[in-house]
Amino acid sequence: MQLNEFLIRFQLQPLSANNITSAPAHFPGREAAVLIPIEQIDDQLYLLLTKRPLHLRHHPGQISFPGGKFEAKDKDAMDTALREAEEEIGLKRNNVTVIGAFPPHKTFTGFTITPIVGIINKPFELVIDPGEVDSCFKVPLNYFKQNENRHLGQHWRKGKLYKVHYMPFEDKFIWGVTAAIIDLLCRHIDN
């Protein structure tokens, strides 16, 4: 899938404008935003993902999108996602065209995460903050678009059973809210 086709498919489906227009009414410290960075390389689209370092308190070692908690200085979820992407991997906000946002996702760990969809305008040099990111890698969007690469399983946590998305890719295991967001993106552009 090329960028023009992606943009047409993405924009054919309605998204709520309210997802990125304001900061949370209160700040208990559990609101967050992530950037879904999409980059066209040659004639193929890629999602850029990060692996969290093992020393982090929340979600150590997991695959994620660049992003993090809302800070008081952030205007909205878009501002949070763009700030975090710049801090974590060196992706400057002026190198991203935001095309929309998905509704916030609640995680079973207590976070509410707003996914912001953005197109990387031109190649950039990764500058990884080792305090927040262990590594960064790209996956062809076409890989995730294939239904056989997206799975739904179950996970027990504190005596409750949850449905959990997961997607193995090469030597990586993408699961949880990141996999759920990827699944939502794929279903959104395939409608």
The pLDDT tens digits for 136-163 are 999 999 999 999 999 988 777 777 777 8
CA quadruple 121, 41, 184, 156: dihedral sign? negative
User: Whats the size of the chain, residue-wise?
Assistant: 191
Indicate if the pLDDT at residue 57 is higher than 60.
Answer: yes
Which pLDDT does position 27 carry in this prediction?
Answer: 42
Indicate if the pLDDT at residue 165 is higher than 50.
Answer: yes
Indicate if the pLDDT at residue 123 is higher than 90.
Answer: yes
3-state secondary structure the chain: CCHHHHHHHHHHCCCCHHHCCCCCCCCCCCEEEEEEEEEEECCEEEEEEEECCCCCCCCCCCEECCEEECCCCCCCHHHHHHHHHHHHHCCCHHHEEEEEECCCEECCCCCEEEEEEEEECCCCCCCCCCCCCCEEEEEEHHHHHCHHHCEEEEEEECCEEEEEEEEEECCEEEECHHHHHHHHHHHHHHC
Domain boundaries, the chain: 3-147+177-190
Which pLDDT does position 24 carry in this prediction?
Answer: 44
Indicate if the pLDDT at residue 19 is higher than 60.
Answer: no
CB atoms within 10 A of CB 171: 5
* Tokens representing residue 44 in the block: 């193929």
Residue 102 backbone dihedrals phi, psi, to 5 degrees: -95, 160
Look up the CATH number of domain 3-147+177-190: 3.90.79.10
- 64 vs 60, residue with greater confidence: 64
- The stretch 13-39 carries a mean pLDDT of 65
Indicate if the pLDDT at residue 46 is higher than 70.
Answer: yes
- 121 residue type, one letter: N
Share of the chain above pLDDT 90, in %: 63
- 82 residue type, one letter: L
Which pLDDT does position 14 carry in this prediction?
Answer: 61
Q: Which residues is 163 bridged to in the sheet?
A: 154
**pTM over 0.75, yes/no:** yes
pLDDT band at 23 (very low <50, low <70, confident <90, very high): very low
